[in-house]
A = this chain, B = another copy of it.
């Protein structure tokens, strides 16, 4: 089977031009097929406050009213996505920027209001990832660059978590390719001691995850990240690694970061 590497980067890389440029060089050197999924970054918040749009968060998720939806559609789907695409094109990588609406890449439904009304936030539907589109683009030598936006096929763009998008694409593509999923974040991996960047836990499986949660070594925003990763592994994704964007090569070769098994 063809090898596909899916890399997710977050705001910490996007907000730092020098780090982003170094990351994109390493990303461009990945052999085989690749897909980049990017998050948001501070630009949306900075721009929003200039425009008088205040960002509200509940459990780490932005509450997306109509104004905020327009803001993230512009910033994620326009500014950040095209900046990355143009930079990859400059180093000879045939990147193509996509939101979930483009070519019906990712269909979602607006999140139901229970305790909290998240607004225009999309949960990807069961069959929501358009693997045919990705296969056409990859087999024609393109590198999809995916913004954290989906659509409901009823005319609305929706805001969707980039970690989830990366995982759903990985699971869907695992049926036809050998998929590697790399989550880049601001630490070198899952740390045994949060203050010691050299305390990277090299491997985590379901049992270890339970233990680490009980010991409060994994908590907060790391719990959904590791849960996401474990679910990918259990759905046929060959390799899932969490680590720092500066060490992409090491994450791919398995010499850096935390491998989820």
Per the bound structure, the CA–CA distance linking A140 and B140 in Å amounts to 12
A85, closest chain B residue (CB): B101
Instruction: Find chain B residues with CB under 8 A from A149 CB.
Output: 82
Point out which of A86, A95, A137 has the most chain B C-beta atoms below 10 A from its C-beta: A86
- Say which one of A28-36, A69-77, A227-235 lies at the interface with B: A69-77
Given contacts A70-B79, A74-B78, contact A90 B51 (CB under 8 A): no
Given contacts A74-B78, A77-B77, A78-B76, contact A157 B103 (CB under 8 A): no
A contact patch SS: helix
> Does A156 sit at the interface, judged by CB under 8 A?
yes
Point out which of A78, A87, A103 has the most chain B C-beta atoms below 10 A from its C-beta: A78
Per the bound structure, the CA–CA distance linking A101 and B88 in Å amounts to 10
Instruction: Find chain B residues with CB under 8 A from A103 CB.
Output: 94-96, 137, 142
Whether the pair B136, A140 counts as a contact (CB closer than 8 A) is: yes
> Does A99 sit at the interface, judged by CB under 8 A?
yes
Distance of A220 from chain B, by nearest CB (Å)? 31
A123-167 interface bits toward B, Cβ cutoff 8 Å, 1 = contact, 0 = none: 000000000010011001010000001010111110000000000
> Does A211 sit at the interface, judged by CB under 8 A?
no
How many copies of this chain? Answer: 2
Distance of A38 from chain B, by nearest CB (Å)? 13
A55-86 interface bits toward B, Cβ cutoff 8 Å, 1 = contact, 0 = none: 00000000000000010011111110111011
- Chain A residues 18 to 49 lying within 8 A of chain B, measured CB to CB, are 47
Distance of A155 from chain B, by nearest CB (Å)? 4
* Among B77, B87, B90, contact of A78 (Cβ-Cβ < 8 Å): B77
Mark A residues whose CB is within 8 Å of B: 47, 50-51, 70, 73-79, 81-83, 85-87, 89-90, 94-99, 101-104, 133, 136-137, 140, 142, 149, 151, 153-157
Top 8 closest pairs, chain A to chain B, by CB: A78-B78, A90-B155, A74-B74, A74-B78, A96-B103, A77-B78, A86-B101, A74-B79
